[in-house]
Structure 1
């Protein structure tokens, strides 16, 4: 009887490790591919139901009938419940204006975006990369606003959001806040950089995760932000790396301390963040600008872009802020923050599963009154 032996050769052990890593990567790729194919199938089934006008053609019991027939032909399949079929139809209706353009010879304008065949294909690849549970949530929340749904789908893929994070970001109205900071980026940055820099701004910033209530001072707020640094980074947006708080710079014979210093890997630049618990004042621009100039001289490396400043205040007069920005040669954004919107402590399970919805529906008697 042959006995197994332990091979201790380093090349062999490294090869085994590489094989394990490659196997795990192939599993991930296979799972992603399967997910994309299933989402594609759901979309196409939704399209079939819409194009056939199935409910009109086959009556109000259509979804129950199709569910029964599909599950009879596909034992063990759990995706063909009446509720899920309805989601599939609504999934098609939500995104069809973006995706079905490829069937038409001419360009079409959706809002201010010209949708070409190439863009539609890019959107298709994006949509089919989002997990179905995320889509169900977006279908419920954005049924009358496909542009908003597409925004959250794009952010989900870009950042790898879980459904809990998606719910958080939707709950803070990210669609309405992103890119809305008052800035002078067009004047102070090259065009390509200014567009990307504008994209990372938000107005207002949502600091509800700090769970602070009045009264509080600036130090208490900054302590809370750093204590919740993971959520703070999520609120700041893509590509931020935390470098330090009260970051010390020696400027001549004096010391300067920046509130918070970050580096943004997408913009390839340092970002100085100043948080004020008071109304915006033009003097804040001068203070922040001096920190940014110092960072450019003392921290900026070859290949880094110009340092950007984010000034986050309790409130602001927009006209006053715009005038102050015009007076500065440094790229600065001015935004407000709010504490009112709190992040739920526990998000898992807050969306009912399809099976739970089905049980609730089946719990109703013939008169449509839910049983207790």
Structure 2
């Protein structure tokens, strides 16, 4: 009997999904066993730490002789294993088993034992960060900016749980746009230009789940035209996110304008499947007390954060420095 085409395609799809999931579980299981092995080897090395560097180098040579095809047991790798076992207990090792060894070595190099390191491990698991992404987040101090920052928002009052918690967790302060070079007198549209030229890095800094919708996004309200600086959609929050960029210190009137934009986006773009639209004011600086007062009676969910650009020499100062040609002539 010939199978119905729909039944065949459905069966094929299910089998392919089962195979893919099984392969993924096998990879994760193998990775977990390797991480636990490295931790146990590190524990042995810690028991003999009094013998120093030469001890590890000799072990690495003999292990390669005993297992010629084995990888990952160079003297340098074994030093990381020792550090791993000395700084991570068996319980935390189980959490680390869910990320690759290369990620763990970055964490051992770039973070100290404690809450910050544990936060980065969990964030890597939740967001699926690559090694490069993890390193970037550590170097830009994401833990301090996202987990520890004194964030200013009205999310708790204007959004239901757990949406409010997710929005608050997504907020950073400050945002680091180190791919944009600052200069004296720069205006918002110039910063926006650089953001659009580096959209991938912009989305990385904004965080997981952001999708770009448009720049200077047109909204027609009544008989007037309005333009949102940057419009995103966050898949995890299931919300439009309106970003207003201000190359100045925060002013209370900024919140009123953003509140208007959020009302317009909710009426014109939001569907029954979307949650409340969220606003984000990015300012050069802010007074937290003033920002909190400004948001106190605002009915739409919004947060206020600062942003940082890459530093450059003061305007005109570069002209005083010798050029490459001048330096070469003097050599």
Which TM-score applies when normalising by structure 1?
0.74
What is the match of residue 7 of structure 1? Answer: none
| Cα deviation code 1:175-231 (max 9, x no counterpart) | 111153311111212232211110000000011112343342110101111221111
What is the match of residue 116 of structure 2? Answer: 148
For residues 154 and 41 of structure 1, what CA distance do their matches in structure 2 show?
21
Displacement of 1:89 in angstroms is 1.7
Count of residue pairs the alignment pairs up: 306
What is the match of residue 270 of structure 1? Answer: 240
Secondary structure in 1 matching 2:244: strand
For residues 127 and 238 of structure 1, what CA distance do their matches in structure 2 show?
21
What is the match of residue 285 of structure 1? Answer: 255
What is the match of residue 32 of structure 2? Answer: 36
What is the match of residue 170 of structure 1? Answer: 138
* Stretch deviating more after TM superposition (152-161 or 133-142): 152-161
For residues 107 and 72 of structure 2, what CA distance do their matches in structure 1 show?
18
What is the match of residue 98 of structure 2? Answer: 129
For residues 341 and 82 of structure 1, what CA distance do their matches in structure 2 show?
40
Secondary structure in 1 matching 2:179: helix
How has the CA–CA distance of structure 1 residues 267 and 341 changed in structure 2, closer, same or farther, with 3 Å as cutoff? farther
Which TM-score applies when normalising by structure 2?
0.83
What is the match of residue 75 of structure 1? Answer: 68
Displacement of 1:29 in angstroms is 4.7
1:186 aligns with 2:156: yes
Runs of 5+ in structure 1 lacking a partner? 1-9, 101-119, 343-372
1:219 aligns with 2:199: no
For residues 242 and 30 of structure 2, what CA distance do their matches in structure 1 show?
43
Displacement of 1:232 in angstroms is 0.7
What is the match of residue 275 of structure 2? Answer: 305
Q: Please list, as runs of the form range in 1=range in 2, the aligned pairs for 1:80-119 lying within 5 A after superposition.
A: 80-96=73-89, 99-100=90-91
For residues 49 and 240 of structure 2, what CA distance do their matches in structure 1 show?
57
* Stretch deviating more after TM superposition (211-220 or 257-266): 211-220
1:242 aligns with 2:235: no
Displacement of 1:166 in angstroms is 1.7
What is the match of residue 49 of structure 2? Answer: 55
What is the match of residue 296 of structure 1? Answer: 266
| Cα deviation code 1:235-276 (max 9, x no counterpart) | 111111111111122222222211111111111111111111
For residues 301 and 131 of structure 1, what CA distance do their matches in structure 2 show?
40
Tell me how large the CA RMSD over aligned residues is: 2.8
1:335 aligns with 2:305: yes
What is the match of residue 42 of structure 2? Answer: 46
Contact 2:88 2:113 in 1 (8 A): no
Contact 1:207 1:341 in 2 (8 A): no
Pick from 59, 66, 70 the counterpart of residue 59 of structure 2: 66
For residues 161 and 230 of structure 1, what CA distance do their matches in structure 2 show?
14
1:158 aligns with 2:149: no
1:253 aligns with 2:234: no
